[in-house]
Each structure stands twice: as structure tokens, then as C-alpha cells.
């Protein structure tokens, strides 16, 4: 739910809220040995596995306008997510009950200034977030490698940040740059040590040059990071890995977009992402860890969009991505679950009288199984999937029907290395399936 309320010309109050609840069966993966034993892709060895989720949030964001185009906005929000689950597996059974509460306060100010030769947008902001995760978990071990245990944990995080970002338009040149300092304080109880404090600095810079009408070339650099999530510190064998640290990346990108006309364009970009301390799940230790070597992702993306006429639009794209580990124990190995080749093609047709039909195809190439950093196993096979969508729009009412996997193909989007003993395992994707719904804008 979203609602806006205007207070004359100097203030707007934005409110949003949402509620979600579901009860989902978790059939788990099917191992290669399960298929050898005669199991079908629709069967499961763990029919009692489930997850129940209840999630709701509230957000209030007052906006104050001054100096014509400048804005002060203060985002405040509260979210509570309750998660109950049961999972039986090769090493044991897990019963988990967790409740996460998150509160945020994020004021920021946008200062807009327009001169004869330039336009400037300056953003300054402060972020504060407080999160708490209360976990009650019972682990009944089936393996001599782990002991059965019951764990009651309280994990907390306080996050402080301040930032500045500036964008300048001078004739055909658009310049941008920014800086952010971030600090996170984690506490874990019970645990030794019981607290961790992390500071990070981020940078971003970019230039965009309009070479002809709407066509442009650009270059950008950014230094980014990702803190471990609260539940990534925690293992359901009732241990906490306080040695886990943020992963950090340097991102480089150069590209161009050319408009053959207002309705036909092509885009190409080259990128490199160098990441250190990448967070990954170790299926042997049953916990999240940091890679001891840097990973590098070099790639090229090419896309095309063409509105052929008023009733037909065609979009397509191709990505080549070389993702390798550059040091440490897995030096020279391919990064798991990253295909070298991906492609997509979509055709959208407006049939008139509010009806639209779309057909898209997706190709995903071979890639190592998730968690197979040593590349000891053969790759997951490539696949092509076709999906369709029919939409009817009448004023503010929209009705849609999705037809997924039109050709009824058998494939697995995800494959992992896991189990005990470790082997290849698959999460079979659904064959032909349908999803329908409607939405109304008030």
C-alpha cells in the first residue's frame, strides 16, 4: 500500500506499508545418486521440510521543498520478519525459529542549482539502521562430525553511514562522483568474541559524453562492499563465525549507446569486477567463509531494442562473462554458478483494445555447480527456456497471465555441491506452469 499527502506547496508526506505471509514446502535438492536409484525429478526424500514466513513493514517519508527545486527527505521505517522452518538432511535435522526486526532513519538533502552553463545536483545524507535477529534452533546430528545441540542466539547490528554525491551537467558532458563512510557494529550472544566493528570507505566516479543527439559514451568506476548478513554469521549447526568480514569490489565499466532513431538503439559495454574476501558457503564445514583469493569477472554485454512499429517491439541481449579466482587455494578456477554465455530475446506485440502479448527466450550456458570452487565436478548443462505473457489493461485495472516454460522443458536452474558424502545435487525447475493475477492503481 502506498499513499501520498500534500501539505500546500512546501511538503509531501509519503507512506507505504506491506504484509506478506506464506507457508512453503521445501523438497530440497535431488542428488545424482537419487536419480541413479530411480527417483524422478518430481519426488523428494524430505516431504516434511517446510518454511513459514510472516513479514510486514511500515515506512514514512516526509519531503520538504525549499529554494525552488531543493528537497529534504527523511525516510523512517520499521520491519519485522518471522521465519519458522524444519529441514531434514544428510547430516541432521534442523528446526529453526527466528525473528528479525529492523529500524532505519535516513535523512538526506538534495540541493539543485541551475546556471547558464551548467546544472548541479548535490546530495548529502546520513543513514542509521538497527537490526536484531533472535534465533532458536535445534540441531539433531546424524553424523559423527557434528554434535546435536540446541542454540539460542541474539545477533544485533548497528549501522552508521554518511555520504556525499554530486552530479554536474556542462553542455554535452555529465560528471558524477561520490564518497561514503560506513561503520557497522555487530554483537553476538553467546559468542567469544561477542562483538565485531567494521569501517568501510566507498568511492564512485563517472563521466558521460553525448556524442550525437541522444547517443553517448561513458566510463565509470566504483569501490563497493557488502557486509555479511546477520544470518550469514550463523550456522544451523549452532556455531557463529565471527571471523567473517565484508567482501569488497572495484568495479570498472566503459560503454556506448547509439540511437539509430528515437525508437531503435544498440548498447555495448565492457566491465571488470575485482572482488576480495568474497563470501561463500563451505559445504564441508557447513558455514559461510571468505575466499582467500581475489575473484575477477571480465565481461562484455551487447543489447538491442527496436520498436519496429506501434504494435511490435523486439529486444535482445548477449553477455560474455569470464569469472575466475586469481589467488589462494582455488587460484585459476572458475567461479561457481557463473555461465560464460547468456542470451535473451523478447518480442512484445500490442494487439489493441488493451491486450498485449509477449514471448521471451532465455539461454544460460554451462557453469560450475554452486560451491564447486575447486572445479572437481563437471559443469551444469546449458538450457533454453521460452516464456509467454498475456496482459489486459483497462484504465487502472491490469489482468495478466504468465505461461512459464512454454515448451515444457526439463532443466535445473540451480545445481549445488553438497550432501554427505558430497556430490552433485539438483533443484529441478518447474515444467510448464501458469501464474495469473490482477492489480489496481487507486
Task: Convert the pLDDT of each residue in 149-169 to its tens digit.
Answer: 888 989 999 999 999 999 999
In angstroms, what CA-CA distances link 306 with 145, 297, 312, 316? Answer: 58, 29, 9, 9
pLDDT band at 234 (very low <50, low <70, confident <90, very high): confident
Tell me: pLDDT of 53 over 90: yes
pTM for this structure?
0.88
41: left (phi over 0), alpha (psi -120 to 50) or beta: alpha
> Strands across the sheet with 423-428, in order?
30-31, 423-428, 412-418
pLDDT band at 245 (very low <50, low <70, confident <90, very high): very high
What pLDDT, on the 0 to 100 scale, is given for residue 283?
79
Tell me: pLDDT of 106 over 80: yes
In angstroms, what CA-CA distances link 141 with 191, 234, 241? Answer: 21, 17, 19
For residue 231, which phi and psi values (nearest 5 degrees)?
-80, -5
Give the list of residues 6+ apart from residue 11 with CB closer than 8 angstroms, or none. 62, 63, 64, 65
In angstroms, what CA-CA distances link 270 with 202, 216, 320? Answer: 22, 15, 10
Exposed, middle or buried: residue 416 (CB in 10 Å: 0-12, 13-18, 19+)?
buried
Instruction: Dump pLDDT digits (tens) for 261-270.
Output: 999 999 999 9
Residue 15's nearest CA partner among 77, 68, 66, 65 is 77
Q: Which residue, chain included where needed, has cell 535435522?
A: 93
Q: How far is the C-alpha of 155 from the C-alpha of 134, rounded, in Å?
A: 6
What pLDDT, on the 0 to 100 scale, is given for residue 130?
96
On average, the pLDDT of the chain sits at 92
Helix count (H) and strand count (E) of the chain? 2, 26
Q: Lowest mean pLDDT of 72-86, 145-159, 296-310, 362-376, name the range.
A: 145-159
Amino acid at each position: 500500500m502506498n499513499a501520498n499527502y500534500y501539505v500546500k506547496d512546501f511538503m509531501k508526506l509519503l507512506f507505504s506499508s506491506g504484509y506478506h505471509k506464506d507457508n512453503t514446502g521445501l523438497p530440497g535438492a535431488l542428488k545424482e545418486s537419487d536419480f541413479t536409484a530411480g527417483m524422478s525429478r518430481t519426488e523428494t526424500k524430505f516431504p516434511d521440510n517446510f518454511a513459514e514466513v510472516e513479514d510486514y513493514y511500515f515506512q514514512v517519508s516526509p519531503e520538504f521543498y525549499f529554494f525552488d527545486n531543493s528537497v529534504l527527505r527523511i525516510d523512517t521505517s520499521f520491519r519485522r520478519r518471522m521465519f519458522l522452518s524444519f529441514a531434514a538432511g544428510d547430516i541432521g535435522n534442523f528446526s529453526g525459529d527466528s525473528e528479525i526486526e529492523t529500524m532505519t532513519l535516513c535523512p538526506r538533502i538534495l540541493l539543485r542549482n541551475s546556471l547558464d552553463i551548467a546544472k548541479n545536483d548535490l546530495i548529502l545524507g546520513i543513514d542509521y539502521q538497527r537490526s536484531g535477529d533472535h534465533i532458536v534452533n535445534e540441531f539433531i546430528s546424524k553424523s559423527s562430525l557434528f554434535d546435536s545441540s540446541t542454540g539460542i542466539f541474539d545477533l544485533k547490528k548497528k549501522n552508521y553511514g554518511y555520504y556525499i554525491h554530486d552530479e554536474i551537467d556542462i553542455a554535452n558532458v555529465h560528471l558524477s562522483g561520490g564518497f561514503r563512510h560506513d561503520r557497522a557494529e555487530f554483537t553476538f550472544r553467546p559468542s567469544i568474541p561477542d562483538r565485531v566493528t567494521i569501517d568501510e570507505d566507498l568511492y564512485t566516479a563517472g563521466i558521460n559524453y553525448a556524442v550525437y543527439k541522444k547517443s553517448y559514451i561513458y566510463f565509470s568506476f566504483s569501490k563497493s562492499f557488502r557486509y555479511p548478513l546477520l544470518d550469514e554469521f550463523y550456522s544451523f549447526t549452532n556455531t557463529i563465525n565471527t571471523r567473517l568480514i565484508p567482501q569488497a569490489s572495484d568495479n570498472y565499466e566503459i560503454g556506448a549507446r547509439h540511437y539509430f532513431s528515437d525508437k531503435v538503439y544498440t548498447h555495448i559495454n565492457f566491465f571488470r569486477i575485482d572482488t576480495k574476501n568474497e563470501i561463500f558457503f563451505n559445504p564441508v564445514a557447513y558455514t559461510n567463509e571468505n575466499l582467500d583469493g581475489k575473484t575477477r569477472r571480465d565481461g562484455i554485454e551487447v543489447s538491442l531494442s527496436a520498436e519496429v512499429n506501434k504494435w511490435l517491439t523486439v529486444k535482445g541481449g548477449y553477455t560474455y562473462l569470464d569469472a575466475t579466482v586469481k589467488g589462494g587455494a582455488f587460484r585459476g578456477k572458475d567461479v561457481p554458478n557463473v555461465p560464460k554465455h547468456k542470451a535473451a530475446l523478447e518480442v512484445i506485440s500490442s494487439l489493441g483494445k488493451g491486450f498485449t502479448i509477449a514471448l521471451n527466450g532465455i539461454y544460460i550456458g554451462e557453469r560450475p555447480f554452486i560451491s564447486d570452487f575447486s572445479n572437481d565436478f563437471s559443469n551444469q548443462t546449458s538450457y533454453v527456456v521460452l516464456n509467454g505473457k498475456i496482459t489486459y489493461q483497462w484504465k487502472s485495472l491490469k489482468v495478466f497471465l504468465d505461461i512459464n516454460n512454454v515448451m515444457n522443458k526439463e532443466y535445473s536452474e540451480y545445481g549445488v555441491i553438497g550432501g554427505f558424502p558430497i556430490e552433485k545435487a539438483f533443484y529441478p525447475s518447474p515444467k510448464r506452469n501458469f501464474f495469473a493475477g490482477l492489480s489496481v492503481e487507486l
